């Protein structure tokens, strides 16, 4: 491009004609020069900014743009007439949203006489991957200067988070600049020319403001962590996590993380910032649902679904962005965040309308935060132009939001603690009341227990007296019966001994008398013996015993009652020793053997057998009598039960009931099977017990 050299056409001495002073004359010359420059520059339709005495000049309404989708165009190609004319004039600050490739910016600057030569050009976008400034020289060539997070930090003219270029502008000469920008993040760029003094002054205010914002966040994080440790309320922990994610997102997106911590590590800075940004919505949703106590409301089920959905979208976006390099995720997640905010705002409005105090406070907090985030997202997506409000609305809204939430959570905890304190006082009063009632009840129950103990003591005395009387009765009856029985037995023995000349029939009668006395003595020993009842009262006495000897003992005991009966014993399969109560088992086998003799005709065969079975042994007493009817098989074990055909046999009906009891106390069973006309089989099962 040709730069016209402007000269003063009014070179004659105007001041002599119009009588101007030197100062006024110099001012008029400068104004005329500027006017002529504007006229000439308008011929080429290139936007221009004229330097004034102000220390800050906004270039946002005086620049042109050309989009290079492939990002391959060079300055030489840009300078070609067919390309140069494609630049489009802009009237607001660059707000390009998310773009691939490269974007070229073009603007002209004119520095009048008597203004500072040194100016600093700031591109207010710290996340630019690359910003290249092309500065023209007097010979028509351009000097190239590149700054960005993909370039080393030492290439920067200033140690500052935003790209800043140091410019030395020629006097009274329009200077055309090209800036080529490229980045993965949003291209919302503020173009500002600063005088060094004004820049330092603005930087001081900025550092003060952002330092205040950072301090507020840090204090809130520490306070919430301390409150969580003190109260164990998870709302404080979630609020701390939410504040941390937002603080890291802010530090990353505003360049502080890259400037102070991760200098020359753009990939790490990008990953940490995006990770915090992606985790912001799910952690925020968890906190807000926890604060509003939705786990105690009917909405509990679907709140878990929403939280799960936000986490799923965040993790999937993280994978697509860094695992598969899908850059479309960045604008998508911005839109997703906006939708989440709108949905949450509507839900909070609904709960606030229903009268939830937590929702009302949340609504007040969300309004400022929602406005700030909406303005920031609008700027990032290229809908709104960069500016002081759109650039800082997010920080202001976030600070107010966090302060209100922290206050709300603290008030909620105080209210809950107050309710707990009131509940504790009420519980204490209730406990005292219950204690008094319990004391009265204990006194009453103690009195009742004393009366019951007196009654039990009286009953025990009666039982002991009855037991003594029973023993005395057994002894008396046994003595009174045994004395005449002994006389009858001795007399029968003498008669049999002296009856040498009597016939066999008479001798048979003597033998029957002797057997009858023996049988009567056995019955006295069996049913009027205190030892038989003492065994049941004192429990079992388990010890190894020989079951074969017990079977033989039962057969021998029953021989006294026999009338030509035949006994058979089969005990080869029984173990040599078996653990059981020998006395109880012996009584049961004797009782079963006596019954077999009593209820079978003379000359019948009675078999005793035993075998080892699974988990124990089985003993059988089998007779060949008339048997028992099926409907009476279980009744014969009932106390005092006697069948109609048993009435001619002596007995009380307690024998089988006591026998079953003696087996059951050993954890065994006593059963009977019978076929009418063929006899009965009484079976004893005793379980194996280790020593």
Residue 6 DSSP one-character state:
P
The answer to whether residue 555 scores a pLDDT higher than 80 is yes
Find out whether 597 and 652 touch, Cβ atoms under 8 Å: no
Torsion on CA atoms 331, 335, 338, 340, rounded to nearest 10? -120
Backbone Cα Rg of the chain: 57
Cα 23 → chain centroid = 82
Which tokens hold the place of 115?
């203004």
**pLDDT tens digits for range 103-116:** 999 988 888 888 88
Which tokens hold the place of 126?
């710290």
Among left, alpha and beta (phi > 0; psi -120 to 50; other), residue 546 is: beta
Strand partners, 611: 573, 618
Q: Tell me what the pLDDT averaged over the chain comes to.
A: 79
Averaged pLDDT for residues 439-457: 87
676 to each of 600, 619, 667, 672, how far by Cα in Å? 13, 22, 30, 13
Among left, alpha and beta (phi > 0; psi -120 to 50; other), residue 444 is: alpha
Rounded distance between C-alpha atoms, residue 225 and residue 241, angstroms: 9
Predicted pLDDT at 287 = 82
Beta pairing class for 48-50 and 102-110? parallel
CATH topology of domain 532-687: Heat Shock Protein 90 (3.30.565)
Locate the DSSP E strands across 175-311. Answer: 175-182, 191-194
Q: Look at the block and give the residue holding tokens 């009842």.
A: 533
Highest mean pLDDT among 141-155, 253-267, 606-620, 677-691: 606-620
Averaged pLDDT for residues 61-80: 88
Least Cα distance to 132 among 118, 119, 148, 116 occurs for 148
Q: Look at the block and give the residue holding tokens 């650039």.
A: 391
CATH topology of domain 203-421: Rhopdopsin 7-helix transmembrane proteins (1.20.1070)
27 to each of 53, 174, 588, how far by Cα in Å? 14, 19, 141
Least Cα distance to 76 among 118, 104, 98, 97 occurs for 104
Rounded distance between C-alpha atoms, residue 519 and residue 424, angstroms: 81
Positions of CATH 3.30.565.10 in the chain: 532-687
Locate the DSSP E strands across 265-371. Answer: none
Find out whether 234 and 290 touch, Cβ atoms under 8 Å: yes
Positions of CATH 2.60.40.2380 in the chain: 45-194
Rounded distance between C-alpha atoms, residue 604 and residue 593, angstroms: 13
**pLDDT tens digits for range 476-508:** 776 667 677 777 777 777 777 776 677 777 777
Pick the residue with more confidence: 168 or 511?
A: 168
Sequence-distant (≥ 6) Cβ neighbours of residue 527 within 8 angstroms: 652, 654
Q: What are phi and psi of 144, to 5 degrees?
A: -105, 130
| SS3 letters across 559-572 | HHHCCCCEEEEEEE
Find out whether 193 and 119 touch, Cβ atoms under 8 Å: yes
The answer to whether residue 670 scores a pLDDT higher than 90 is yes
Locate the DSSP E strands across 69-149. Answer: 88-90, 102-110, 118-123, 130-136, 142-147
Rounded distance between C-alpha atoms, residue 267 and residue 274, angstroms: 11
Which tokens hold the place of 467?
């037991």
pLDDT band at 132 (very low <50, low <70, confident <90, very high): very high
Express as a percent the part of the chain with pLDDT over 70. 83
Predicted pLDDT at 616 = 92
In CATH terms, 45-194 corresponds, of 1.10.1740.10, 3.40.640.10, 3.40.50.300, 2.60.40.2380, to: 2.60.40.2380
Q: Look at the block and give the residue holding tokens 């309710």.
A: 419
The answer to whether residue 607 scores a pLDDT higher than 90 is yes
Among left, alpha and beta (phi > 0; psi -120 to 50; other), residue 640 is: left
Pick the residue with more confidence: 590 or 386?
A: 590
Least Cα distance to 146 among 156, 160, 136 occurs for 156
Highest mean pLDDT among 53-62, 407-416, 664-673: 664-673
Which tokens hold the place of 156?
């920067």
Positions of CATH 1.20.1070 in the chain: 203-421
| SS3 letters across 223-281 | HHHHHHHHHCCHHHHHHHHHHHHHHHHHHHHCCHHHHHCCCCCHHHHHHHHHHHHHHHH
């Amino acid at each position: 491009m040709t730069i016209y050299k402007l000269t003063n056409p009014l070179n004659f001495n105007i001041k002599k004609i119009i009588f101007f002073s030197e100062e006024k004359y110099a001012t008029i010359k400068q104004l005329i020069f500027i006017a002529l420059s504007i006229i000439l520059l308008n011929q080429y339709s290139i936007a221009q900014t004229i330097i004034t005495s102000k220390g800050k000049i906004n270039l946002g309404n005086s620049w042109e743009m050309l989009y290079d989708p492939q990002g391959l165009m060079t300055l030489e190609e840009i300078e070609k007439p067919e390309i140069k004319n494609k630049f489009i004039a802009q009237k607001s600050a660059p707000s390009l949203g998310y773009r691939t490739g490269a974007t070229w910016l073009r603007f002209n600057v004119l520095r009048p006489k008597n203004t500072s030569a040194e100016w600093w050009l700031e591109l207010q976008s710290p996340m630019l991957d690359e910003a290249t400034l092309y500065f023209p020289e007097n010979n028509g060539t351009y000097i190239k200067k590149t700054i960005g997070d993909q370039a080393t930090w030492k290439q920067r003219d200033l140690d500052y988070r935003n790209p800043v270029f140091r410019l030395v502008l020629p006097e009274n000469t329009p200077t055309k600049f090209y800036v080529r920008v490229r980045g993965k993040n949003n291209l919302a760029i503020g173009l500002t020319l600063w005088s060094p003094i004004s820049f330092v002054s603005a930087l001081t205010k900025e550092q003060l403001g952002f330092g205040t914002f950072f301090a507020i966040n840090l204090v809130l994080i520490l306070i919430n962590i301390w409150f969580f440790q003190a109260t164990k309320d998870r709302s404080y922990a979630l609020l701390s996590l939410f504040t941390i994610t937002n603080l890291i997102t802010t530090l990353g997106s505003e360049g502080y993380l890259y400037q102070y911590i991760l200098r020359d590590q753009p990939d790490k800075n990008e990953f940490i910032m995006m990770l915090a940004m992606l985790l912001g919505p799910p952690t925020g949703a968890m906190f807000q649902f926890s604060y509003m106590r939705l786990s105690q409301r009917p909405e509990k089920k679907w709140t878990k679904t929403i939280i799960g959905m936000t986490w799923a979208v965040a993790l999937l976006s993280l994978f697509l962005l860094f695992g598969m390099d899908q850059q479309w995720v960045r604008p998508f997640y911005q839109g997703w965040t906006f939708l989440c905010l709108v949905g949450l705002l509507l839900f909070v409005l609904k709960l606030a309308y229903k009268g939830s105090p937590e929702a009302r406070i949340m609504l007040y907090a969300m309004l400022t935060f929602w406005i700030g985030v909406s303005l920031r997202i609008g700027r990032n997506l290229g809908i709104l132009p960069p500016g002081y409000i759109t650039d800082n609305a997010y920080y202001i809204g976030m600070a107010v939001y966090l302060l209100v939430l922290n206050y709300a959570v603290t008030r909620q905890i105080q209210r809950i603690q107050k309710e707990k304190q009131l509940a504790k006082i009420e519980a204490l009063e209730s406990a005292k009341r219950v204690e008094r009632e319990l004391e009265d009840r204990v006194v009453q129950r103690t009195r009742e227990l004393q009366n019951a103990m007196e009654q039990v003591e009286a009953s025990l005395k009666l039982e002991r007296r009855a037991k003594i009387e029973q023993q005395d009765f057994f002894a008396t009856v046994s003595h009174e019966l045994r004395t005449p029985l002994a006389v009858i037995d001795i007399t029968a023995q003498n008669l049999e001994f002296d009856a040498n000349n009597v016939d066999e029939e008479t001798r048979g009668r003597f033998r029957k008398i002797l057997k009858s006395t023996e049988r009567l003595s056995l019955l006295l020993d069996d049913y009027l013996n205190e030892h038989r009842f003492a065994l049941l009262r004192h429990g079992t006495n388990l010890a190894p015993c020989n079951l074969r000897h017990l079977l033989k003992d039962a057969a021998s005991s029953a021989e006294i009652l026999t009338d030509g009966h035949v006994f058979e014993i089969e005990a080869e399969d029984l173990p040599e020793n078996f653990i059981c109560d020998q006395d109880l088992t012996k009584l049961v086998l004797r009782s079963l053997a006596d019954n077999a003799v009593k209820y079978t005709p003379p000359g019948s065969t009675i078999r005793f057998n035993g075998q080892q079975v699974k988990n124990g042994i089985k003993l059988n007493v089998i007779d060949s009598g008339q048997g028992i009817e099926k409907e009476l098989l279980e009744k014969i074990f009932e106390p005092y039960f006697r069948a109609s055909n048993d009435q001619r046999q002596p007995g009380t009906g307690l024998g089988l009931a006591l026998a079953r009891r003696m087996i059951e106390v050993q954890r065994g069973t006593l059963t009977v099977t019978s076929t009418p006309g063929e006899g009965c089989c009484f079976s004893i099962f005793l379980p194996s017990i280790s020593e």
